Amino acid sequence: MDKILDSLKTLACKPLAQATAMPKGIYVSPEIHQREKDNIFYRDWICAGRADEIPNIGDYLTFDLCDQPLLLVRGSDNVIHARANVCLHRMMRLATGSGHTKKFTCPYHAWTYNIDGKLIAAAYMDRTTCFDRHNMQLPEIRCEIFHGWIYVTMNKEAVPIENLLVDLVPIIQPYHMEHYVTIFRHQHIWQTNWKHLTENFMEGYHLPVAHKNTVGAHFGLMDTTFDDRGSFDNFTYQTFTKSGTAPVGSAHPDNKTLQGKARFTSIMPTIFPTHMYVLAPDHLWYLSLQPMGVDRVSILYGAAIAPEVLAAQNDVDDYIAKTRAFLDDVQEEDRFVVENIFKGAQAPLSTSGPLSWLERENHEFTQYLARRLCSGR
């Protein structure tokens, strides 16, 4: 592990013009993965979905933060809370999927919790002298809402997400994505290391090639722009402007807030480590990654539509089905790429090659990982 981290640190200090992709050991080492859990996933803010998915008291979502299953619930105070999704009896996972409920009953011995995480019933425990139901509450972790996104962290000391992403706010604010309406949330598992997927999503270099049949068709690489303020510690992004012929990605005539070129411009932020989205004037779609070891990643994948676009549809269900089918095709194109890169990273003769200027964000991700993984050694 030390050798890999030394290479990562050396690479992170290089300017982009002299940078390569990360040392391949970083994608396949179990020791690195354990260090990622300790230094990244249990310390940084992780996106668990969108707040509009759970608008009512008693609505809930589930999300695994590496080895920690979480329950995101809109509590009786009408605020979203994140708690351990693990029973206080013999550690069974309490809930799966999402839905609406008045209580959570453990599927093992039926210990029952209210939506605020308090144990309210446990049968046949009357002879257990060390048991007092009134003291039992599911552990809670921090949960904050940022422009419609739910972020959670196990780190009590973490800087509030609003402060961490303050430099992103002027870029995303004009889109008012907090008002976009979520149309689906889906979870699937790919055979790859999570970092291949983060790196894949953040760069547009592959779009005209790997996505030539979908999102790459109306994409001009020379229209890519990066922030001329420089790079940021906790996120990166690029923008790209769609041509007027693109079927999606432009502001609807009823959108009166975006002006000029912004009406055709999309933003592609990556919030380190694992939250990526494409924010267009008419829709957004996102990924939030949940690593399941070095070789598997569970992907939370969803989309949301600008309200004026949804309101203009004659057949909303058909529109949603078509949008979903299109984005599923894009996902499938990415799955092919990132599963095969992971195979390449394990090949004896493979090496990490030099980056293009279009992969500026990949180098910024390298630098973020170096800050997190190489510190304290």
Give the Cα separation of 339 and 259 in Å (integer): 40
Give the whole-angstrom CA distance, residue 176 versus residue 304.
12
Complex with ligand FES: residue 108 or 357, whichever CB lies closer: 108
Among 295, 334, 359, 364, binds Fe ion (CB under 5 A): 334
Residues 6+ apart with CB under 8 A from 6: none
CB 118 within 8 A of CB 136: yes
The answer to whether 369 and 27 have CB atoms below 8 angstroms apart is no
Residue span 107-126 as binding mask against ligand FES, x where in contact by CB under 6 A, dash where not: -xxxx---------------
How many angstroms separate the CA atoms of 35 and 31, rounded?
6
* DSSP tag of 298: E
| Phi, psi (degrees; rounded to nearest 5) at 36 | -60, -40
Q: Which is nearer to ligand FES, 113 or 368 (CB)?
A: 113
- The reply to whether 89 sits near ligand FES by the rule CB under 6 A is yes
Closest CB to Fe ion among residues 31, 332: 332
Interacting residue with ligand FES among 4, 95, 106, 304 (CB under 6 A): 106
84: contact with ligand FES by CB under 6 A: no
Task: Tell whether residue 295 is a contact of Fe ion (CB under 5 A).
Answer: no
Strand pairing category for 275-279 and 98-100: unpaired
Nearer to ligand FES, 103 or 179 (CB): 103
Enumerate residues 6+ apart whose C-beta is below 8 A from 313.
Answer: 319
Q: Which does 108 bind (CB under 5 to 8 A by kind): Fe ion, ligand FES, none?
A: ligand FES
Segment interacting with Fe ion, rule: CB under 5 A, options 34-42, 60-68, 242-250, 329-337 = 329-337
- CB neighbour list of residue 195: distance below 8 Å, 6 or more residues apart: 22, 26, 27, 365, 369
Residue 334 interacting entry, from ligand FES, Fe ion, none, C-beta within 5 to 8 Å by type: Fe ion
Minimum CB separation of residue 87 from ligand FES in Å reads 3
For position 280 contacting ligand FES by CB under 6 A, the verdict is no
* Distance in angstroms (rounded) separating the CA atoms of residues 329 and 338: 15
Question: What's the Cα-to-Cα distance from 111 to each of 38, 70, 130, 248, 312, rounded to whole Å?
Answer: 31, 17, 16, 49, 47
Which span sits near ligand FES by CB under 6 A: 88-96, 153-161, 232-240, 356-364? 88-96
Q: At what angle do helices 194-202 and 360-374 cross, to 10 degrees?
A: 140
**At closest approach, how far in Å is the CB of 334 from Fe ion?**
4
90 vs 179 by CB, closer to ligand FES: 90
Which of ligand FES, Fe ion, none lies near 87, with the C-beta cut-off 5 to 8 A by kind? ligand FES
Minimum CB–partner distance for residue 298 and ligand FES (Å): 23
Asked if 203 touches Fe ion (CB under 5 A), the answer is no
Q: Between residues 115 and 310, which has the closer beta carbon with respect to ligand FES?
A: 115
Binding residues for ligand FES, rule: CB under 6 A, are: 87, 89-90, 92, 106, 108-111
